[in-house]
Chains A and B, each alone.
Chain A
């Protein structure tokens, strides 16, 4: 069973991930790719405690997941790979992780970011990351929950307003 969703979300594990996507897709594992979380047992406990018992969370750094991605893809049940930043996802794609589609699920308001959608705010470096991912033939779209209409990258970048 493949990894069903490759998602960029600065909240990492939260309600939309566990319930919004997790229940309809029957996700049974998350691969949380974050260098800081990968080094902190406390951070890992924090995220692990929030997920239901039928869901497993695997913690990886950008460097470590590249060698283990095929193993996750061979797991018998569906899962999601999560990064908290465009830079981490770009590093995966440029590091050789093949994927056909990336979901921009949530990059929220903070200083320096401009609004594109209610749940997507980007600074210039993040826009460049997404363009670089798209230039490699990966389909990038924004979609917070499965029932929402995906917004393709080209449209996302020209939209303004949260």
Chain B
């Protein structure tokens, strides 16, 4: 397995599929292939942990991006992180964050921190809704 960044994107409903699809459109299929979408749909707490563990093993990923800090995906990932040294869990994933991550040349702590910074920096009010006369 190469040292290219790999990660699971774990989120509610179809959000993870959508985010990975968007990464593919912006950065290409090869970059998007570094991300594996994971949905919490229909799974209870214990089953989520098992399914997410399986996804981590099958992909070799050591990073999980989730959507909500209080969400079941985050809870499941943090449970696994207790058993898996080195597993990184990042909450509040967005497209700029994921793009930064998959386009990094190699994986490392700075890759994660840069991606989080990019994701945070992209959140803004682009227009206040005021109207110029």
Are A108 and B74 in contact, CB atoms less than 8 angstroms apart?
no
**Does B44 lie within 8 Å of A106, measured CB to CB?**
yes
Contact of B82 among A10, A42, A118, A162 (CB under 8 A): A42
Chain A nearest CB from B101 CB (Å) reads 23
Residues on B lying within 8 angstroms of A by beta carbon are 12, 42-48, 67-72, 74-75, 78-79, 82
Answer whether A50 and B46 are a contact pair too, CB < 8 Å, given A15-B12, A42-B82: no
- Chain A 1-35 against B: per-residue CB contact (8 Å), 1 yes, 0 no? 00000000011111101110000000000000000
**Cβ of B116 to closest chain A Cβ, rounded Å:** 17
Could you say which of A18, A19, A118 contacts B42, with CB atoms under 8 Å apart?
A118
A80 interface hit (Cβ, 8 Å): no
Chain A residues within 8 Å of B, Cβ to Cβ: 10-15, 17-19, 42, 46-47, 49-52, 84, 106-110, 118-119, 121, 162
In the complex, given contacts A50-B69, A50-B71, A109-B47, what are 19 additional A-B residue pairs having Cβ atoms less than 8 angstroms apart?
A10-B45, A10-B46, A14-B68, A14-B72, A15-B12, A15-B67, A15-B68, A17-B70, A46-B79, A49-B69, A51-B70, A52-B70, A106-B44, A108-B42, A108-B43, A108-B44, A109-B42, A109-B44, A162-B42
Kindly state the separation between the CA atoms of A119 and B12 in the bound complex, as whole angstroms: 13
Distance in angstroms between the alpha carbons of A4 and B85 in the assembled complex: 40
**Closest residue to B50 on the A side, CB-wise?**
A110
CA–CA, A47 to B69, complex, Å?
10
Give 30 CB contacts A-B under 8 Å: A10-B44, A10-B45, A10-B46, A11-B72, A12-B45, A13-B70, A14-B68, A14-B70, A15-B12, A15-B67, A15-B68, A15-B70, A15-B71, A17-B70, A18-B68, A19-B70, A42-B82, A46-B78, A46-B79, A50-B68, A50-B75, A52-B70, A108-B44, A109-B42, A109-B43, A109-B44, A110-B44, A118-B42, A119-B42, A162-B42
Residues in chain A near residue B82, CB distance under 8 A: 42
CB distance from B59 to the nearest CB of A (A): 22
CB neighbours of B47 from chain A (8 A): 108-110
The contact of B75 among A14, A42, A52, by CB within 8 Å, is A14
